[in-house]
Amino acid sequence: MSVRLWLVRHGATDWGEAGRFLGWSDVPLNALGRRQAGRLGERLAGERFASVWSSDLRRASDTARLAVGGATPDRRLRELDFGDMEGRRWEECSIDTQEALLAFDGFRAPGGESVAELRNRVLAFAGELRSGDHLLFTHGGVIRIFRGADRDRGVPPGTLERVAL
């Protein structure tokens, strides 16, 4: 048997809807995010998981609570630490920063974390999972790590996708 991940990006936040970089800031879900979590709960009803996890940031843990009643928090499932970019908008970043972030691999947020550091902590978490289906409430950057560069595209808030490790 293999490890299969059901990956949920947390529901919408005011910062996300305003196009702000949202890494380790603990911004709550907005009304839309709470509705998205409820819809996820309907979609996940009746599913069985070996474990249910979430980032320790409240936008992810609240999505888990509203969708399935809760999850075990783990800091390793946090989004990339955007450092000095935290709360800024795309258009406020230099062209060099935008291009580096789009490339993703090799990116380091000024005053924050590198994608390599994000990858290391996320894969360390995954390496501890036993065979079976695991439900993770997390963030876009974490989902990008799990699905790999060949499947890179945006991850809308409140969405679910599955990957096998």
What amino acid positions are annotated as catalytic residues?
Answer: 10, 79
3-9 vs 51-54, strand pairing mode: unpaired
Say which amino acid occupies 96.
D
How far apart are alpha carbons 92 and 54 in whole angstroms?
30
Q: Strand order of the sheet with strand 3-9?
A: 72-73, 51-54, 132-138, 3-9, 160-164
**Would you list the DSSP string of 33-93?**
HHHHHHHHHHHHTT---SEEEE-SSHHHHHHHHHHHS--EE-GGGPPP--GGGTT-BGGGS
